[in-house]
Amino acid sequence: MRERHFVKYTFLKVDPAWRRLDAEQRAQDKREFIAACEDFATDHLLRAFSLVGTRGDCDLLLLSQAVNLDHIHEFHVVLAQSGLMKWATVPHSYLAMTKPSEYSDESRLELRPARGKYLFVYPFVKTRAWYGLPAEERQRIMAEHIRLGREYPEIDINTSYSFGLDDQEFVVAFEGDDPAQFLDLVQRLRTTESSSYTLRDTPVFTCITASVPRALNALDGEALTSEPLPALG
């Protein structure tokens, strides 16, 4: 049997005061951060995204995945020891897990590697009335939802589940190269019957795919000029 995976979405915000440190100190802080990411990425999936210019409360996203929750915990402990994290906060954090879907045979027990230029992420909660519907009624409603989604094959979806693990019930992450297509898809999904059973689907994060070094360089506009490390993500 294939193993299920824990998925952690960690959104970081860096104190603007960090940008006023001298370039050498900022470069060292970045190297420590990259080293922690590289160590985890040796045996696990780790993806980085920049949110500079797309949100005001976050600067970057680290998406980490492992079959053992302790490994994700250990990664964030090590990451916290980096110089950069002394200047960072975590304004948003979502923990979830993969599992087979009740409604589709396209479920994934692990997230796919990067495919699109953009990742659109949001936590999701359904109303309690949804869970009171008969199983066959929920299947009928979701069939329409899935059919409409397939009309946008350029948009790929990864769904993970948070029941009992975090405040939300699901974390959904859509990948694609054209934000306009995602916008049109979401607008059309608002017209479906399933939408009436949505309790909460915010905040929404528009994330730009990047290697870890590139996401860090977006923080201060300066690339590492010495001791370059391999790109991640």
- Residue 84 domain flag: yes
pLDDT in tens, 177-223: 999 999 999 999 999 999 999 999 999 999 999 999 999 999 999 87
| Predicted pLDDT at 109 | 55
- Residue 233 domain flag: no
- Residue 1 domain flag: no
Name the average pLDDT for the chain: 91
| Predicted pLDDT at 100 | 86
- Give the structural domain span for 24: 6-220
Q: 0.95 cut: is pTM over it?
A: no
Whether residue 5 is predicted with pLDDT greater than 60 in this model: the reply is yes
- Residue 42 domain flag: yes
- Residue 164 domain flag: yes
- Residue 230 domain flag: no
pLDDT in tens, 52-96: 999 999 999 999 999 999 999 999 999 999 999 999 999 999 999
Look up residue 51 and give its two tokens. Answer: 């949110």
Rounded CA separation 10/48 (Å): 10
Distances (CA, A) of 14 to 56, 61, 86, 89, 222: 11, 12, 9, 7, 15
Contact present, 165 and 97 (Cβ < 8 Å): yes
What is the domain-level CATH number for residue 91? Answer: 3.30.70.1030
Rounded CA separation 160/158 (Å): 7
CA proximity to 160, closest of 198, 121, 130: 121
Question: What average pLDDT does this structure show over 131-149?
Answer: 93
Whether residue 233 is predicted with pLDDT greater than 80 in this model: the reply is no
| Predicted pLDDT at 226 | 43
Contact present, 51 and 109 (Cβ < 8 Å): no
- Give the count of domains, the chain: 1
- Residue 226 domain flag: no
Q: Is the peptide bond before 203 cis (omega within 30 degrees of 0)?
A: yes
- Residue 104 domain flag: yes
Lowest mean pLDDT among 39-43, 116-120, 146-150, 211-215: 146-150
Rounded CA separation 54/50 (Å): 9
% of the chain surpassing 90 pLDDT: 83
